[in-house]
Amino acid sequence: MITVENLIKSYNSLRVLDGVCHAQERGEAVVIIGPSGCGKSTFLRCLNQLETPDSGRITINGTTVAAGSGAGNEEEQLRRGLRLSAGMVFQSFNLFPHLTALENVTQAPIVVKGESRSQAETRALQLLAKVGLESKAAAYPAQLSGGQQQRVAIARALAMQPLVMLFDEPTSALDPELRDEVLQVMRQLAEEGMTMIVVTHEMQFARDMADRVLFFEGGRILEAGTPDQIFLNPQQERTKEFLRKVAVR
């Protein structure tokens, strides 16, 4: 359902993505690991067009955007189409502080899809219940803990009914004791068959949940395989080194 062909992205002279190729089935949960600065975030941000790649093609569910295809109206529509089929969860939550938890979830369906308020609220409440926060519907982000905020952010992304969910280190900004409640929600999503790409440093989570693990290094996918292949029997020297480091840590 997702196909990425030869994605290249540079900032000035720095090549951050150096020809990434990736294919993913519907319902597959992919975890990306790799050292800091290797291009993981940039890869996710290219997938939902927060960044424009220099070259390469991205296809999600039949919608293809080729890099350098211009800034015309038609291309803009394609990009938004891609964006609409991918939901994104950020490391820093990025909840809208002026809106309640409920309004955070209903805002996009109302504004983007033109849903009625009552319709959007009904579904938002279901989603908040799903992430265990229906009692916090009226709370503002400042009144929520980090873990709660991230769970609202997940509900917010789900409200747009995306085909794939992109998570960029969703637990890195959280205190260790708050991480589980977020990981729990993500586990549940994976079990329900959501297509997911998760960038994370949670190795346990990767081992438990991933259908496939990608090891990023220097803007490329250096090694890919099942969790057992990557964690128990890595082929590349850099992968082994990386895993040693995170294990020590």
Partner 1 sequence: MSFRQWPVALFVAAFSIAAYGADHLQEIRQRGVLLWGADAEGGAPYVYPDPEKPDRLIGFECELAEALAGKLGVKARMVQNQWDQLIPALERGDFDVILNGLEITPQNRQRVAMSRPYYVYAQQIVTRKESHGMTSMDELKGKSVGVLSGSAASRLDGLRVCDLRTYPGNVQSFQDLKAHRIEAVVLDLPIALYYAKPDTELKFSGAAFAPGYYGIGIRKEDTTLLAALNQAIQELAEDRTLERIYIKCGLWDERQASLKEYKAEQIAESKRISTLREWPKYLPMLLRAAAITVGLSIIAMALAIVAGLVIVLLRLYSVAPLRWLARAYVEVVRGTPLLIQLFLLYYGLPQIGIKLNAFLAGILGLGLNYAASEAENYRAGIQSIPSGQSEAALALGMTRWQTTRHIILPQAVRVVIPPVTNDFIAMFKDSSIVSVISMVELTKMYGILALSTYDFLGLGLMTAAIYFGLSYPASIFAHWLEKRLRYVK
Ligand X SMILES: Nc1ncnc2c1ncn2[C@@H]1O[C@H](COP(=O)(O)OP(=O)(O)OP(=O)(O)O)[C@@H](O)[C@H]1O
Determine phi and psi for 42, rounding to 5 degrees.
-60, -40
Cβ of residue 30: shortest distance to Mg ion, in angstroms?
Answer: 16
42 interface partner picked from Mg ion, ligand X, partner 1, none, CB below 5 to 8 A per type = ligand X
| Cα separation, 172 vs 33, whole angstroms | 13
**By the rule CB under 8 A, 50 interacts with partner 1:** yes
Determine phi and psi for 75, rounding to 5 degrees.
-65, -40
Q: Which residues in this chain contact ligand X in the complex, by CB under 6 A?
A: 11, 16, 36-42
- Contact call for residues 94 and 116 (beta carbons, < 8 A): no
152 interface partner picked from Mg ion, ligand X, partner 1, none, CB below 5 to 8 A per type = none
179 interface partner picked from ligand X, Mg ion, partner 1, none, CB below 5 to 8 A per type = none
Return the HEC string of 155-203: HHHHCCCCCEEEEECCCCCCCHHHHHHHHHHHHHHHHCCCEEEEECCCH
| Cα separation, 164 vs 30, whole angstroms | 11
**By the rule CB under 8 A, 194 interacts with partner 1:** no
- Contact call for residues 112 and 105 (beta carbons, < 8 A): no
Residues in contact with 38: Cβ distance below 8 Å, sequence separation at least 6, in sequence order: 216, 217, 218, 219
Cβ of residue 236: shortest distance to partner 1, in angstroms?
Answer: 32
| Closer residue to ligand X, CB minimum distance, 23 or 246 | 246
Q: Kindly indicate which of the ranges 125-133, 136-144, 174-182, 211-219 contains the residues binding partner 1, using the contact rule CB under 8 A.
A: 136-144
**By the rule CB under 8 A, 142 interacts with partner 1:** yes
Strand, helix or coil for residue 35: coil
**By the rule CB under 8 A, 92 interacts with partner 1:** yes
**By the rule CB under 5 A, 85 interacts with Mg ion:** no
Cβ of residue 229: shortest distance to partner 1, in angstroms?
Answer: 32
Question: Contact positions toward partner 1, by CB under 8 A?
Answer: 48, 50, 80, 83-84, 86-88, 90, 92, 94-98, 107-108, 111-112, 140-143, 153, 156-157, 160
